[in-house]
A = this chain, B = another copy of it.
Protein backbone atom coordinates (compact mmCIF):
# COMPACT_ATOMS: atom_id res chain seq x y z
CA UNK A 1 0.00 0.00 0.00
CA UNK A 2 1.26 3.44 -0.93
CA UNK A 3 0.50 5.91 1.85
CA UNK A 4 -1.02 9.12 0.48
CA UNK A 5 -1.45 10.76 3.84
CA UNK A 6 -1.75 10.04 7.57
CA UNK A 7 -4.51 11.10 9.92
CA UNK A 8 -3.51 11.39 13.59
CA UNK A 9 -5.66 11.75 16.70
CA UNK A 10 -3.31 12.37 19.63
CA UNK A 11 -4.99 12.74 22.98
CA UNK A 12 -3.70 12.79 26.54
CA UNK A 13 -3.93 9.02 26.95
CA UNK A 14 -3.81 7.59 23.44
CA UNK A 15 -2.35 8.00 19.96
CA UNK A 16 -4.14 6.74 16.87
CA UNK A 17 -2.96 6.98 13.28
CA UNK A 18 -4.80 6.08 10.12
CA UNK A 19 -2.59 5.36 7.07
CA UNK A 20 -4.58 6.12 3.98
CA UNK A 21 -3.76 5.35 0.37
CA UNK A 22 -5.07 3.60 -2.70
CA UNK A 23 -8.55 3.24 -1.24
CA UNK A 24 -7.25 1.47 1.86
CA UNK A 25 -7.21 2.61 5.49
CA UNK A 26 -4.99 1.02 8.14
CA UNK A 27 -5.62 2.10 11.74
CA UNK A 28 -2.77 1.84 14.25
CA UNK A 29 -2.98 2.52 17.99
CA UNK A 30 -0.45 3.26 20.70
CA UNK A 31 -0.68 3.97 24.40
CA UNK A 32 1.81 6.84 24.03
CA UNK A 33 -0.66 9.58 24.80
CA UNK A 34 0.64 13.13 25.05
CA UNK A 35 0.21 13.13 28.82
CA UNK A 36 3.49 11.28 29.26
CA UNK A 37 5.57 12.95 26.56
CA UNK A 38 8.00 15.87 26.43
CA UNK A 39 8.03 17.84 23.15
CA UNK A 40 11.08 15.97 21.85
CA UNK A 41 9.38 12.62 22.49
CA UNK A 42 6.55 13.14 20.02
CA UNK A 43 8.36 12.52 16.75
CA UNK A 44 10.01 9.26 17.95
CA UNK A 45 6.66 8.07 19.33
CA UNK A 46 4.95 8.74 16.03
CA UNK A 47 7.71 7.09 14.00
CA UNK A 48 7.65 4.06 16.28
CA UNK A 49 3.98 3.61 15.38
CA UNK A 50 3.97 4.44 11.65
CA UNK A 51 7.62 4.56 10.52
CA UNK A 52 7.77 1.12 8.93
CA UNK A 53 4.68 1.87 6.85
CA UNK A 54 5.94 5.12 5.36
CA UNK A 55 6.67 4.77 1.66
CA UNK A 56 7.78 8.34 1.03
CA UNK A 57 7.02 11.92 2.07
CA UNK A 58 3.37 12.26 3.12
CA UNK A 59 1.19 14.86 4.80
CA UNK A 60 0.39 14.09 8.43
CA UNK A 61 -2.67 15.90 9.79
CA UNK A 62 -3.01 15.76 13.56
CA UNK A 63 -5.54 16.96 16.11
CA UNK A 64 -5.91 16.82 19.89
CA UNK A 65 -3.59 17.49 22.82
CA UNK A 66 -0.59 17.20 20.48
CA UNK A 67 -1.25 20.91 19.81
CA UNK A 68 -1.60 21.98 23.44
CA UNK A 69 0.91 24.23 25.16
CA UNK A 70 2.39 21.14 26.83
CA UNK A 71 2.18 19.14 23.57
CA UNK A 72 4.52 18.79 20.58
CA UNK A 73 4.14 22.38 19.40
CA UNK A 74 1.38 24.72 20.51
CA UNK A 75 -1.31 25.36 17.89
CA UNK A 76 -3.03 28.48 19.26
CA UNK A 77 -6.78 28.31 19.69
CA UNK A 78 -9.25 29.64 17.15
CA UNK A 79 -11.81 31.78 18.95
CA UNK A 80 -15.59 31.53 18.74
CA UNK A 81 -17.57 32.43 16.77
CA UNK A 82 -15.60 30.58 14.08
CA UNK A 83 -15.74 27.70 11.66
CA UNK A 84 -14.38 24.42 12.96
CA UNK A 85 -10.65 24.91 12.24
CA UNK A 86 -9.34 23.28 9.06
CA UNK A 87 -5.97 22.99 7.46
CA UNK A 88 -5.96 26.73 6.77
CA UNK A 89 -5.70 27.33 10.50
CA UNK A 90 -3.26 24.48 11.12
CA UNK A 91 0.35 25.11 12.04
CA UNK A 92 3.05 23.39 10.07
CA UNK A 93 5.68 21.80 12.26
CA UNK A 94 9.26 21.02 11.14
CA UNK A 95 10.33 17.42 11.73
CA UNK A 96 13.66 15.59 11.77
CA UNK A 97 12.38 12.86 9.47
CA UNK A 98 11.80 14.40 6.05
CA UNK A 99 9.07 11.86 5.26
CA UNK A 100 6.75 13.66 7.67
CA UNK A 101 4.98 16.81 6.44
CA UNK A 102 3.19 17.65 9.67
CA UNK A 103 0.15 19.88 10.21
CA UNK A 104 -1.38 20.31 13.67
CA UNK A 105 -4.96 21.57 13.85
CA UNK A 106 -5.75 24.13 16.53
CA UNK A 107 -8.36 23.82 19.25
CA UNK A 108 -11.13 26.34 19.85
CA UNK A 109 -11.48 28.74 22.77
CA UNK A 110 -14.16 31.02 24.14
CA UNK A 111 -13.34 34.11 26.17
CA UNK A 112 -16.49 34.36 28.28
CA UNK A 113 -17.40 32.10 29.89
CA UNK A 114 -13.82 30.86 29.64
CA UNK A 115 -13.74 27.54 27.82
CA UNK A 116 -11.51 25.45 25.56
CA UNK A 117 -11.67 22.33 23.39
CA UNK A 118 -8.96 20.33 21.60
CA UNK A 119 -9.90 17.41 19.41
CA UNK A 120 -13.66 17.84 19.52
CA UNK A 121 -13.44 20.67 16.94
CA UNK A 122 -12.21 18.07 14.43
CA UNK A 123 -15.18 15.81 15.15
CA UNK A 124 -17.39 18.86 14.66
CA UNK A 125 -15.69 19.55 11.32
CA UNK A 126 -16.35 15.95 10.36
CA UNK A 127 -20.00 16.23 11.34
CA UNK A 128 -20.46 19.49 9.45
CA UNK A 129 -18.79 18.05 6.36
CA UNK A 130 -21.66 15.56 6.21
CA UNK A 131 -24.38 17.90 7.54
CA UNK A 132 -23.44 21.38 6.31
CA UNK A 133 -26.95 22.75 6.88
CA UNK A 134 -27.15 21.61 10.53
CA UNK A 135 -28.47 24.32 12.84
CA UNK A 136 -28.73 23.27 16.44
CA UNK A 137 -26.64 21.80 19.23
CA UNK A 138 -23.98 19.11 19.29
CA UNK A 139 -23.33 17.24 22.52
CA UNK A 140 -19.99 15.38 22.67
CA UNK A 141 -20.09 13.29 25.85
CA UNK A 142 -16.79 12.14 27.33
CA UNK A 143 -14.40 12.88 30.17
CA UNK A 144 -15.16 16.55 29.57
CA UNK A 145 -18.48 16.72 27.76
CA UNK A 146 -18.85 19.57 25.27
CA UNK A 147 -22.13 21.27 24.38
CA UNK A 148 -21.74 23.23 21.17
CA UNK A 149 -24.13 25.65 19.52
CA UNK A 150 -23.83 25.47 15.72
CA UNK A 151 -25.37 27.99 13.35
CA UNK A 152 -24.54 28.98 9.78
CA UNK A 153 -21.69 26.42 9.70
CA UNK A 154 -20.01 28.10 12.66
CA UNK A 155 -19.30 27.22 16.27
CA UNK A 156 -21.23 30.01 17.97
CA UNK A 157 -20.56 29.13 21.60
CA UNK A 158 -19.82 26.11 23.74
CA UNK A 159 -19.81 24.82 27.28
CA UNK A 160 -17.72 22.09 28.93
CA UNK A 161 -19.05 19.97 31.79
CA UNK A 162 -16.76 17.59 33.71
CA UNK A 163 -19.39 14.88 34.12
CA UNK A 164 -17.26 11.99 32.84
CA UNK A 165 -14.30 12.86 35.05
CA UNK A 166 -16.56 13.36 38.09
CA UNK A 167 -18.20 9.97 37.46
CA UNK A 168 -14.81 8.27 37.20
CA UNK A 169 -13.46 9.93 40.36
CA UNK A 170 -16.59 9.24 42.40
CA UNK A 171 -17.21 5.69 41.20
CA UNK A 172 -13.58 4.55 41.32
CA UNK A 173 -11.83 6.63 43.97
CA UNK A 174 -14.32 8.04 46.46
CA UNK A 175 -16.09 6.28 49.35
CA UNK A 176 -18.89 5.56 46.84
CA UNK A 177 -16.69 2.98 45.09
CA UNK A 178 -17.61 0.50 47.82
CA UNK A 179 -21.26 0.76 46.79
CA UNK A 180 -20.88 0.43 43.02
CA UNK A 181 -22.40 -2.82 41.75
CA UNK A 182 -22.39 -3.87 38.13
CA UNK A 183 -26.14 -3.42 37.83
CA UNK A 184 -27.82 -0.91 35.59
CA UNK A 185 -31.33 -0.15 34.64
CA UNK A 186 -32.77 2.76 32.82
CA UNK A 187 -35.54 3.32 35.38
CA UNK A 188 -33.01 3.95 38.17
CA UNK A 189 -30.98 6.08 35.79
CA UNK A 190 -33.80 8.26 34.46
CA UNK A 191 -35.26 8.60 37.96
CA UNK A 192 -31.93 10.01 39.17
CA UNK A 193 -31.69 12.30 36.11
CA UNK A 194 -35.11 13.65 36.95
CA UNK A 195 -34.25 14.08 40.66
CA UNK A 196 -31.12 16.06 39.86
CA UNK A 197 -32.82 18.21 37.23
CA UNK A 198 -35.73 19.13 39.46
CA UNK A 199 -33.63 19.84 42.57
CA UNK A 200 -30.04 20.37 41.42
CA UNK A 201 -29.13 21.99 44.74
CA UNK A 202 -29.78 18.68 46.50
CA UNK A 203 -27.15 16.73 44.59
CA UNK A 204 -24.44 17.37 47.16
CA UNK A 205 -26.59 15.55 49.69
CA UNK A 206 -27.84 12.79 47.39
CA UNK A 207 -24.36 11.48 46.59
CA UNK A 208 -23.53 10.22 50.09
CA UNK A 209 -26.99 8.64 50.31
CA UNK A 210 -25.79 6.12 47.69
CA UNK A 211 -23.20 4.91 50.19
CA UNK A 212 -25.44 5.10 53.25
CA UNK A 213 -28.20 3.25 51.40
CA UNK A 214 -25.94 0.31 50.71
CA UNK A 215 -24.64 0.28 54.31
CA UNK A 216 -28.19 0.21 55.63
CA UNK A 217 -29.27 -2.62 53.38
CA UNK A 218 -30.62 -0.91 50.27
CA UNK A 219 -32.65 -3.67 48.60
CA UNK A 220 -31.16 -2.85 45.23
CA UNK A 221 -27.47 -1.99 45.67
CA UNK A 222 -26.69 -2.85 42.05
CA UNK A 223 -28.47 0.31 41.00
CA UNK A 224 -26.03 2.69 42.71
CA UNK A 225 -23.94 3.01 39.54
CA UNK A 226 -26.98 3.90 37.43
CA UNK A 227 -28.15 6.36 40.07
CA UNK A 228 -24.73 8.04 40.33
CA UNK A 229 -24.57 8.39 36.55
CA UNK A 230 -28.12 9.72 36.49
CA UNK A 231 -27.48 12.30 39.22
CA UNK A 232 -24.39 13.65 37.44
CA UNK A 233 -25.96 13.70 33.97
CA UNK A 234 -29.11 15.25 35.46
CA UNK A 235 -26.98 18.00 37.02
CA UNK A 236 -25.32 18.47 33.63
CA UNK A 237 -28.67 18.75 31.85
CA UNK A 238 -29.83 21.29 34.42
CA UNK A 239 -26.66 23.33 33.76
CA UNK A 240 -26.93 23.10 29.97
CA UNK A 241 -30.69 23.55 29.55
CA UNK A 242 -30.17 26.87 27.73
CA UNK A 243 -28.21 24.85 25.16
CA UNK A 244 -30.53 21.96 24.44
CA UNK A 245 -34.04 23.18 25.21
CA UNK A 246 -36.08 23.15 22.01
CA UNK A 247 -33.05 22.53 19.81
CA UNK A 248 -32.17 20.03 17.15
CA UNK A 249 -29.58 17.86 18.88
CA UNK A 250 -26.90 15.42 17.73
CA UNK A 251 -24.77 13.26 20.05
CA UNK A 252 -21.18 12.53 19.03
CA UNK A 253 -18.99 10.08 20.91
CA UNK A 254 -18.57 6.50 22.07
CA UNK A 255 -21.76 4.57 21.19
CA UNK A 256 -22.47 3.34 24.75
CA UNK A 257 -22.07 6.76 26.25
CA UNK A 258 -24.14 8.42 23.52
CA UNK A 259 -26.89 5.88 24.19
CA UNK A 260 -26.86 6.78 27.89
CA UNK A 261 -27.17 10.48 27.10
CA UNK A 262 -29.87 9.71 24.52
CA UNK A 263 -31.90 7.92 27.22
CA UNK A 264 -31.69 10.98 29.48
CA UNK A 265 -32.46 13.45 26.70
CA UNK A 266 -35.31 11.43 25.22
CA UNK A 267 -36.96 11.56 28.64
CA UNK A 268 -36.80 15.36 28.27
CA UNK A 269 -38.70 15.17 24.98
CA UNK A 270 -35.72 15.45 22.64
CA UNK A 271 -34.91 13.13 19.77
CA UNK A 272 -31.14 13.25 19.42
CA UNK A 273 -29.33 11.54 16.57
CA UNK A 274 -26.18 9.56 17.46
CA UNK A 275 -22.82 9.56 15.67
CA UNK A 276 -19.58 7.70 16.28
CA UNK A 277 -16.88 10.00 17.60
CA UNK A 278 -14.08 7.92 16.09
CA UNK A 279 -15.68 8.02 12.65
CA UNK A 280 -16.12 11.78 12.87
CA UNK A 281 -12.53 12.38 13.95
CA UNK A 282 -11.36 10.64 10.80
CA UNK A 283 -13.98 12.49 8.77
CA UNK A 284 -12.76 15.83 10.14
CA UNK A 285 -9.12 15.03 9.40
CA UNK A 286 -10.16 13.84 5.93
CA UNK A 287 -11.94 17.13 5.28
CA UNK A 288 -8.73 18.95 6.28
CA UNK A 289 -6.70 16.80 3.90
CA UNK A 290 -9.19 17.43 1.08
CA UNK A 291 -8.80 21.18 1.47
CA UNK A 292 -5.00 20.81 1.65
CA UNK A 293 -5.10 19.04 -1.72
CA UNK A 294 -7.37 21.71 -3.18
CA UNK A 295 -4.99 24.47 -2.22
CA UNK A 296 -1.89 22.54 -3.29
Contact = CB atoms under 8 A, between A and B. Distances in A.
A174 B169 CA distance: 8
Contacts of A232: 204
A122 interface: no
A209 interface: yes
A196 to B, nearest CB: 9
Contact of A165 (B114, B175, B209, B218): B175
B114 A203 contact: no
A208 B239 contact: no
A236 B236 CA distance: 17
A212 B115 contact: yes
A205 B114 contact: no
Interface stretch (A14-22, A154-162, A269-277): A154-162
A207 interface: yes
Given A174-B165, A238-B201, A111 B216 contact: yes
A239 B175 contact: no
Interface range on chain A: under 10, 10 to 19, 20 to 34, or 35 or more? 35 or more
Contacts of A113: 205, 209, 212
Contacts of A204: 161-163, 166, 232, 235-236, 238-240
Interface string A113-136: 111100000000000000000000
A144 interface: yes
Nearest to A144: B208
Contacts of A109: 212, 215-216
B209 A239 contact: no
A144 B160 CA distance: 27
A158 B110 CA distance: 42
Contact of A161 (B162, B174, B205, B218): B205
Contacts of A209: 113-115, 160
Contacts of A114: 209, 212-213, 215-216, 218
A259 interface: no
A221 to B, nearest CB: 11
Nearest to A115: B212
A241 B201 CA distance: 10
A144 to B, nearest CB: 6
Interface of A: 69, 109-111, 113-116, 144, 159-163, 165-166, 169-170, 173-175, 200-205, 207-209, 211-213, 215-216, 218, 232, 235-236, 238-241
Given A114-B218, A162-B208, A204-B232, 12 more contacts: A69-B215, A109-B212, A114-B212, A161-B205, A162-B174, A163-B204, A165-B174, A169-B169, A173-B173, A201-B201, A204-B235, A204-B238
